[in-house]
Structure 1
Amino acid sequence: MTFLDEYSITDLIHSDPRYQTLRERLDGYRRGSDEYLLALMEELPLNSWPNYKEYLKKQASPLGPSHDLDKSPIFRSIMSHRQLVTCTDHNLKTFFDHFQFAVRMWPQNHCLGVRPYDPVTRTWEPEYKFETYQQVYERAQCFGSGILSLVNVKKKLNLENNNFVVTILSHNSPQWVITDLACQCYDLTNSSLYETLGGETSEYILNLTESPVLCFSIINLYKILTILPNLKYINTLICMDEHDEHKLNAVNESLLNNNIKNSLGENVSLHSMKHVETIGAMTSIPLIPPTPKSLYTISFTSGTTGLPKGVEISQQVIASGIAFSLSTFKVPNHKKGKQCYDMCFLPLAHIFERQILTYGLTRGTGMGFLHQPDPAALVEDLRILKPDALALVPRILTRFEAGIKTNLSKGSIQKNLATNIIDAKSARFTSRSGTDKSIMNFLVYHRVLIDRIRDGLGLSNASYMITGSAPISKDTLLFLRSCLDIGMRQGYGSTESFAGICLSEPYEKDPGSCGAIGITAECRLKDVPEMNYLTQKELKGELQLRGPQIFEKYYKNEKATEEAFDEEGWFSTGDIAKIDEKGRLYIIDRVKNFFKLSHGEYIAPEKIENIYLSSCPYITQIFVFGDSLQSYLVGIVSIDIEGILKLLTDIGYDNGTEEKNFTHWDTTTLIININEDVNLKRRVLTEFNKCCSDSLQGFEKLHNIFVGVDLMTVNNECVTPTLKIKRIQSTKFFKNELDNLYKEGSIIKNGKL
């Protein structure tokens, strides 16, 4: 099915009578001008027009009845029901258009920032240092020009030749973003490698894309030199860190020495980013702006089986993604026209953070980076940056939750006061939607508790947080919203949809959904009879997507592309979703991940894992396993140490028949005792199962567990870089533990599930 080549947010506003008031507020500006676009962005999101409260009641609706007995109706956003949006405006049809707009509007705004390292004191400076939008733009042009010059001279081609892929292998940094923007300046396609990928996979991607240039952080030099003999097309290596030129020259002279050649006979050379920028400034190749059809990036999915697939994301797709972001994110009135900040924390190799980045760079936001690539540095840097918004995954948010609860439980008076305040806030948020504007909130709750917690986490300026990529407990969302007095937004998307295509509202009284489908895509559900998901019975089934924000094909993989799309252009996500009466999506299961136990019941392990993760704040990872010769399930569970210690302190041991001082146990002692003491393990597992009592049937609950901390990692190949379970590998890796769990037997079989 085809869509209009261009249908912008501005087209929507000028054609839909519901937006008449908004249209009148923009009438003083020439449509499409920078002034018009700036005024438009200040008036968004779209769901504020004509009435936000009405939008909350119905956020998406069907186009009409379904014509297929095995499909649901097609759902579209209420905000743009007649036509799907492809871009923000006809003058903003690529990511590069958006960034240039930001440079014109806010040339002196802070753009990319880090905490500098002081070699004298050997400490990181206590404040961020930023380059402006104008400075970043100039650097990106120089770097892009330098890349073209180096690669094409070796290939003996015209300097403007841009028919190649630039690959990035690095943690998040300003240099990563400048490299991406350099590609924008010259219509170069880029691709990014996860730092956690093994050598074989990195080789596969670099050879598949025939990439001649690899931009990397210095910590990856050993990995690159190890696989370099197997890289057929690389001719230029660029170290992105600010590094001693003499050391890089030593590598060139001693290790490369002009003797290393690729399969095309081209010499392989190593350069610093600064050196490449200098070359680019001298050659000063004219800009080659991308078009909507240009291939922006090839983003490789971290598949749970086999080699990763490369998702082709065009400038059309990314422009749609930015339009979706602008249509749903709200800048509070008191922050309009002011410099805002965001922490670029989640890996840019994953599409989630790239969507957040594109929105930030469109709105003139200052993007901060960790002073070192270690998640443990997050809170320290948040306290300095004080971002206005923040995107995190559930694992980080549950750690925030556990840390807050632990700190609040240290004194009985403090604990009781905090409990009363948080309970009052939770009651308010579950009784009605919207922010808490009560006098009690600002004069008492904030002063006594909330501001202290926000300051401690560096969230004193934050208006909302976004989470995605994995399930999260409703209780966690409500707790964080209550104790931080902050909007919590859960989204859904995939690499194939350039991350988010729906996002929940920040202060809904019934949290837990991923929000309604956005203005740049439409969705429907398809029957999965073997899993008993029937759309005519209830609105549950495999989620299918279609629209401008959905990719068109996998890179050099026609077979996978054909399998992913049907004849009408619907992309099958492989996720099982349900749609509620408001039109909001919930991801509840995964297609094909099911098996039978000995009693004949079908088991959907991913659904069960999602429910444990979203219902039980003590669990950070879980792998559910069932032997077809057994009648019950067992599990490998990574636990939150602070949360479990607090739980055990609260509930006691073995119904109080034996006293144990849990607070003095370190992590190793706790793990050993739970795994070896059946009574203690039963106590813990019973609490886990209580959390899921309303969501799982008895045969779906775990009967025995093996616990630890971060048991499933990319390094042991049990999860993908985006933390999806690899079932075959996990089964092999934990074979001894799983065998022992069944040997030990059900530890709750005679108890109440």
Structure 2
Amino acid sequence: MPITYDTSFVDTMLPNTAVQFWDRVAKSADREAFRYPTKAETWESVTWAQAGELVSKLSGGLLALGLQPEMRVGITSGTRYEWLLADLAIGCAAGATTTVYPTTNEEDTAYILADSECRVVFAEDDEQIAKLRNRKSELPYVAKVVTFDGTADGDWVISLEELAALGEAHLAANPGLLEQKAAEIRPDQLATLVYTSGTTGRPKGVRLRHSSWVYEGTAIASMNILSEDDLQFLWLPMAHVFGKVLMSTQMACGFATAIDGRVDKIVDNLAVVQPTFMGAAPRIFEKAYGRIVTMQEAEGGLKEKIFNKAFEVGREYERRKAAGEKIPAGLNFQHNLFDKLVYSKIRARFGGRVRFFISGAAALNSDIAQFFNVAGIQILEGYGLTEVSAGAFVNHPDHNKFGTVGLPFPGTQVKLGDGDEVLIKGPGVMEGYHNLPEETSKALDADGWFHTGDKGSLDEDGLLTITGRIKELFKTSGGKYVAPPAIEAKFKAVCPYASQFMVFGEGRQYCVALVTLDPDAIQPWAEENGLSGKSYTEIVNSPQAQEMVEGYVKETNAQLNRWETIKKWRLLDHDLTIESGELTPSMKVKRNVVQANYQDLLDSMYD
């Protein structure tokens, strides 16, 4: 039976994010709220009451600087405790946060801050401050910069501590000011301005209301999958709505969050923090899967045989369990044995306490989800967009159907439009695009339905499957439609060394692909194949690597329709990166950028 949700909470939601935060501080004052790494690499813990005290001072500081309701305040920083403090302070001062990725180039940073008319900017360090100084003439509205770790000049740039001191004095002179502000914020007031990183053209500012964030957190809380006793590990870019929605969920549920945005520290941090859940993009799970599989292949012999047998048994066990079939005693014994020998060791890599991961921002391969499920780690795939405040669908631990993104959030409606386009309506839908009325009218119809641009299907239980991005679907010269993401996911599931697999073929007689390998995963393989000590470029250009990739392409082709098969491919001598502009900060491929960068190489495969 599918899960059904009670939607009555929508009528009794708290009015705004400031009230939501202060309500949580009052309810959970002495409980742990946040945990963050110090410079000595130890972890510091903060209660809700302590966090509330800091937010009060910072919020008071913003008000002392003259912040008025809905005035924008930028944050250009990586994910860290101070990011959350700044965002909460902006909301409690009735301002609106404008998010900027720390990797955003100087020109786009200036554009976002100018287009949003930011009055104050929180800048992480001297690198971020330099971007602002170099473009100061283009930032006429920015009156003050507040830095977390950078150099303050006592004039245009002040420290976080100076802002807090300013706020403490301002609140002392104006008792009850923050309570008054919280009471005055309208539910439909602008809370966040998030600029989408788009594949072409200038980024668009998405206007998200206070009521949308309160709804998102409250809707997830109503699913009863999280409680005060959970511990989240948060590394996601907070400039991305996936990270922000997990923050609003924390306010609604009251669990503690350990925060560290350093991607290279994720695995080490999980072992130390031992969280009960974490949100992540599929690339994180792909990398973890690839690392586990390649390590077992490198071990070889008996260990590899035990590993393979464990997952053969595990898949049969989970199949019977999902079908409601009786599990034979022998199968149950084997499953328990392999849990001790194999599955528990995989769980230990993630701290040993994870109840589930939440996957979003891109499509998750169902084979990889099933692999982790066998090991006792559920991955709940969800779906959403910046324009719907991140979350709109998610699977439930008690009804997790691989390949789908689950049911709509309670209170959210879905229907399929022309060409099976997914349309969404509900409290999470944006107000519109900032200063772009024509773009808003294209995306939001007169009845309030947001047109996602994604193609999907709904099953008999109401669970949504995303079948492709409408603009990413292409037609071959033979008239056949091809959905690249589905093919790409299949390759990544069979090739543990893959980083990216990008399929092209619009208007051509057959499909081709560009391939990149994971620099970490390929090293053990190189040592096993006589390439020890070689550089990444030397490894991927070797005949051994070409032969290995060819084998996985053939394995993938065996699962495809004839017109979808990859006839030719090229292995790039470097991986795609965020810094190169070929990946978004949430690690999605900018397909148009990649195609433009390698058009000559793609054309050569049709000569």
TM-score norm. by structure 1 comes to 0.73
Residues 326 and 359 in structure 1, CA contact (< 8 A), matched pair in contact too: yes
Closer, same or farther in 2 for the Cα pair 1:441/1:275, shift >3 Å? farther
Q: Does 1:308 align with 2:183?
A: no
| 587 and 131 in structure 1: CA distance in 2 versus 1, 3 angstrom threshold | same
Equivalent in the alignment of 2:350: 457
Aligned residue number for residue 669 of structure 1: 538
Alignment of structure 1 residues 85-484 onto 2, 5 Å: 87=10, 90=12, 92-118=14-40, 124-125=41-42, 128-150=43-65, 152=66, 161-218=68-125, 219-241=127-149, 247-249=151-153, 269-284=156-171, 285=174, 286-287=177-178, 288-289=181-182, 290-331=185-226, 338=229, 340-370=230-260, 373-409=261-297, 410-433=299-322, 440=333, 444-458=337-351, 460-483=352-375
Q: Note the 1:17-96 alignment, pairs <5 A.
A: 54-55=1-2, 59=3, 78-80=4-6, 87=10, 90=12, 92-96=14-18
TM-superposed CA distance for 1:516, in Å, is 1.6
Distance 2:278 2:334 in 1: 23
Secondary structure, in 3 states, of the residue corresponding to 1:271?
A: strand
- TM superposition shift of 1:665: 6.1
User: What are the superposed Cα offsets for residues 185-239 of structure 1, whole Å, 9 maximum, x if unpaired?
Assistant: 2211111101222222221211111111000100422222222222121110000
Contact 1:216/1:240, CA 8 A, preserved across alignment: yes
Question: Take 1:445 and 1:682, find their aligned partners in 2: how far apart are those partners?
Answer: 33
* Counterpart AA for 2:304: K
Instruction: Say what the alpha-carbon RMSD is for the aligned residues.
Output: 3.0
List gaps (5 residues or longer) in structure 2.
none
Q: Could you say if the C-alpha distance between residues 618 and 324 of structure 1 is closer, same or farther in structure 2, counting changes exceeding 3 Å?
A: farther
Of residues 206-215 and 596-605 in structure 1, the stretch that sits farther from structure 2 once superposed is 596-605
The one of 477, 483, 502 aligned to 2:393: 502
Q: Which residue of 2 aligns with 1:27?
A: none
The 1:505/1:161 distance shift into structure 2, 3 A limit, reads closer
User: Letter of the aligned partner of 1:236 in structure 2?
Assistant: K
SS in 1 for 2:571: strand
How far is the alpha carbon of 1:95 from its aligned partner? 2.6
After TM superposition, list the pairs within 5 Å mapping 1:599-618 onto structure 2. 599-606=478-485, 608-609=487-488, 612-613=491-492, 617-618=496-497
* Rg larger in structure: 1
Specify the SS of the correspondent of 2:553.
helix
8 Å CA contact retained: 1:298, 1:312: yes
Residues 323-345 of structure 1: CA deviation (Å, up to 9, x unaligned): 221133524xxxx664x321111
Matched-pair contact (CA < 8 Å) for 1:616–1:691: no
CA distance in 1, matches of 2:401, 2:121: 47
Change (3 A) 1:727 1:641: closer
Q: Alpha-carbon deviations, 1:666-717, whole Å to 9, x = none?
A: 63332111xxx4x9636523423423543x3222222222224763333333
The answer for the alignment partner of 1:731 in structure 2 is: 595
Q: Quote the offset at 1:452 in angstroms.
A: 2.6
2:518 pairs with 1:640? yes
Q: CA deviation at 1:434?
A: 10
**1:619/1:639 contact within 8 Å kept:** yes
Q: Percent identity?
A: 23
Q: Which SS does the other structure have where 2:407 is aligned? A: coil
Kindly tell me the number of residue pairs found equivalent between the two proteins.
593
CA distance in 2, matches of 1:488, 1:174: 26
1:573 is aligned to 2:452: yes
CA distance 1:509–1:649, change in 2 (3 Å):
farther
Residues 554-586 of structure 1: CA distance to partner in whole angstroms, max 9, x if unpaired? 112110111112232211100001112222111
- What is the TM-score when the length of structure 2 is the normalising length? 0.90
Aligned equivalents of 2:461, 2:523: Cα separation in 1: 39
Instruction: Write the letter of the residue equivalent to 2:218.
Output: A
For structure 1, the 5+ residue unaligned runs are: 1-53, 60-77, 119-123, 153-159, 253-257, 259-268, 529-540, 651-659, 744-753
> Cα offset for 1:271?
0.3
In the alignment, the residues of structure 1 paired with residue 9 and residue 222 of structure 2 have an alpha-carbon distance, to the nearest angstrom, of 12
Which amino acid letter does the alignment assign opposite residue 5 of structure 2? M
Task: Report if aligned partners of 2:526, 2:539 keep a CA contact under 8 Å in 1.
Answer: no
Report deviation, 1:388. 1.0
Equivalent-residue separation in structure 1 for 2:484 and 2:272 (angstroms): 42
Query: What is the deviation of 1:421?
Result: 2.5
